[in-house]
A and B are shown apart, each in its own frame.
Chain A
Amino acid sequence: MNKNSPSPKFKAIALLSAGLLTAACSEQNPAPAPEPATEARQAIEQAREQYEASKTAGHAWSKTGKLLTGATEALEAGKFPQALSLAQQAETLADASLAQAKAEQEAWRDRLPKTPAHKKDEK
């Protein structure tokens, strides 16, 4: 072992004190974002992405937008579990509206009445 390199014991002490220091500091400074906030924020981002995709597809559902607004407001108010739940509901709807867009890509073709001549052609 290199003479200049710190001994394992020293390393352990250094790490421990760094840890104590961080803990001590965080008692004075505002707490880092707690886990639920991050989770809610990520859920909102993910739902928003799907919602934007449904808009691009021309299939956005009004309820999705409302749930997302509610989720964002709850997040800002610090109500993280509520924000998370609303964001998850928004994503469920956004996913369903995207599934609708996909299903409709062909399904729309069969919904207009057709002429008797056409009906004969098909047989």
Chain B
Amino acid sequence: MILKPGLIAMQTALMALTVALSGFASATPAEDREAMRAYYQKRFPAVEVNAHQDGVYAFDQNAREQWLELEDFPPYEVAVDEGEELYNSPLANGASYSDCFGDGAVKNRYPHFDEGRGEVVTLELAINDCREAHGSDPLSYKSAEMVRLSAYIAWQSRGQIIAMEEPESAGALAAYNEGKRFYTTRRGQLNFACTSCHVQLAGNRLRAEHLSASLGHVSHWPAYRLKWQDVGSLHRRFARCNEQVGAEPFPRQSPEYRNLEYFLTYISNGLTWNGPAIRK
């Protein structure tokens, strides 16, 4: 197996750390959330836990200054404007998105577990449901339209608090546990789990970048990434993180990624919906 030098060092560090960490699969969602908050509080004593909603900018002072400068003329603004136009355009039967989402401030309704459907419904699924209910074809989850609509909705929802209902029914708990399992499972040729980088090594550097905490991983999407030169979705970012360890990514809005989003959203309860954001 070929490891890049930086990653070999990290593997070694991980082995040492693994001994210090461990968790119960049977822990309740509330216990998981409490444990994650306590862990990051200890790991980043100078950072207020909810501040992780700004990703690495919560603790990387240099990056933070550059980021704040970019926020003077935010590059996601065009996407929000285009999203607003789409939002107000009529669907096939003359209705519009406002018939489904009012003024668009609905981030705090998603994701949720839909008992009738037996699956996690994300904002993106709800956007397509709305289209289909009004006679329009669903959008591709990779389309520019989908990401722009979600950028507008994120903008309208700014400031809402993440307050996902605790998963309690058998179905909701199963989805949550699948998400947790995905998050903690090692994948790819480099044999890394999400936890390897974003829990055990959080705050360390990987090549040019610091590794963010997972609290707040869901709060700010879609994000304008300088690397992408565009706004992109949370699931696009998930795919990127799978790819960089040599694992094949899953499709956007696949059950795997929706369950992962469901888990990550619950542990981020108490932080603020603060999208769209800018990231490197």
Interface residues of A (CB under 8 A from B): 55, 58-63, 65, 93, 96-97, 100, 103-104, 107-118
Contact = CB atoms under 8 A, between A and B. Distances in A.
B200 to A, nearest CB: 8
10 contacts: A60-B247, A62-B247, A62-B248, A63-B189, A108-B181, A108-B186, A112-B32, A112-B180, A113-B21, A114-B27
Contacts of A115: 27, 31, 34-35, 38
Contacts of A111: 18, 21-23, 184, 193, 195, 199
Nearest to A93: B189
A61 B22 contact: no
Given A96-B1, A115-B31, A115-B38, A108 B246 contact: no
Contacts of A61: 188-189, 246-248
Interface of B: 1, 18, 21-25, 27, 31-32, 34-36, 38-39, 180-181, 183-189, 191, 193, 195, 199, 243, 246-248, 250, 256
Contacts, number: 93
B38 A104 contact: no
Contact of B39 (A60, A93, A97, A113): A113
Contacts of B32: 112
B21 A109 contact: no
Contacts of A104: 185-187
Nearest to A111: B184
Contact of A118 (B18, B35, B199, B256): B35
A62 to B, nearest CB: 5
A47 to B, nearest CB: 15
A104 B181 CA distance: 9
A60 B242 CA distance: 11
A114 B248 CA distance: 29
Contacts of B24: 109, 112, 114, 118
Which 8 pairs of residues, A with B, have the shortest CB-CB distance? A112-B23, A113-B39, A111-B184, A60-B248, A109-B25, A110-B22, A108-B184, A114-B23
Nearest to B26: A109
| Residue of A65, A93, A108, A117 contacting most chain B CB atoms (<10 Å) | A108
Nearest to B22: A110
